A and B are shown apart, each in its own frame.
Chain A
Amino acid sequence: MTLLSLNSMKTNIGQYSVLHDISINVPEGGVFVLLGRNGAGKTTTLRSIMGLWKPSPGSVTFRGQDITNLHTADIARLGIAFVPENMGIFGGLTIEENLILATKTGQFDQTRLDRVWELFPAMKTFWTKQAWSLSGGQKQMLAVSRAIIEQRDLILIDEPTKGLAPSIIDAMADAFREISETTTILLVEQNFQFAKSLGRDMAVIDDGRIAHAGTMADFVADKELQESLLSLSA
Chain B
Amino acid sequence: MTTIPTKGDRIVKAAVLIIAGLLLFAPFLFQDIRSLEVAARICVFIVLVASYDLLIGYTGIVSFAHTMFFGFGAYGAAISLKQMGPGWDAVVVGALSGVLVSTIVAIAIGLLSLRVKAIFFAMITLAAASVAMVLASQLSQFTGGEDGITYKTPDIFKTATKLMVDDNNKVVRLFGVKLNGKLAAYYFVFATCLMLFLVMLRLVGSPIGTVLKAIRENEARAEAVGYRVVAYRTFVFCIAAIIASLAGTIYAMWLKYTGPDTTLSFTIMIDILLMVVIGGMGTLWGAVIGAVLLVLAQYYLRDLMGTAAEALHGIPILPYALEPDRWLFWLGIIFILLVYFFPKGIAGTIAERGAKP
Where the two chains meet, the residues of A that have a C-beta atom closer than 8 Å to any C-beta of B are 50, 52, 71-74, 76-77, 82, 84, 88, 90-94, 96-97, 100-102, 104, 106, 128, 130, 146
Contacts and interface: CB of A to CB of B under 8 A. Distances in A.
A82 B2 contact: no
B210 A93 contact: yes
B220 A128 contact: no
Contact of B1 (A74, A76, A90, A100): A100
B217 A71 contact: no
Given A96-B1, A128-B3, A102 B225 contact: yes
A91 to B, nearest CB: 7
* Closest 3 pairs (CB-CB, A-B): A76-B226, A106-B207, A72-B223
B221 A90 contact: yes
Contact of A92 (B4, B207, B217): B217
Identify which of B2, B4, B221, B229 gathers the most chain A CB atoms within 10 Å of its CB.
B221
B228 interface: yes
A146 B225 contact: yes
A93 B217 contact: yes
Interface of B: 1-4, 207, 210-211, 213-214, 216-218, 220-229
A97 B210 contact: yes
A16 B207 CA distance: 39
A77 to B, nearest CB: 5
Given A91-B217, A93-B213, 11 more contacts: A52-B224, A73-B228, A76-B224, A88-B218, A88-B224, A90-B213, A92-B216, A94-B3, A97-B210, A106-B207, A130-B3
Nearest to A71: B228
B224 A72 contact: yes
Contacts of A94: 1-3
B63 to A, nearest CB: 22
A96 B228 CA distance: 21
22 contacts: A72-B220, A73-B224, A76-B225, A82-B224, A88-B218, A88-B224, A90-B217, A92-B216, A93-B213, A93-B214, A94-B3, A97-B213, A100-B207, A100-B210, A101-B211, A101-B227, A102-B225, A102-B226, A104-B226, A128-B3, A128-B4, A146-B225
Contacts of B1: 94, 96-97, 100
A94 B357 CA distance: 15
A76 B226 CA distance: 5
A18 to B, nearest CB: 17
Identify which of A74, A96, A100, A101 gathers the most chain B CB atoms within 10 Å of its CB.
A101
Nearest to A82: B224
A56 B200 CA distance: 43
A90 B217 CA distance: 7
A146 B210 CA distance: 14
Contacts of B226: 73, 76-77, 102, 104
Contacts of B228: 71, 73-74
A100 B213 CA distance: 13
A82 to B, nearest CB: 5
B9 to A, nearest CB: 12
Nearest to B228: A73
A106 B206 CA distance: 9
B332 to A, nearest CB: 31
Contacts of A77: 226
Contacts of B223: 52, 71-73, 76
A71 B224 CA distance: 9
Contacts of A84: 221, 224
Contacts of B214: 90, 93, 101
A100 B218 CA distance: 16
Contacts of B4: 128
Contacts of A71: 223, 228
A188 to B, nearest CB: 15
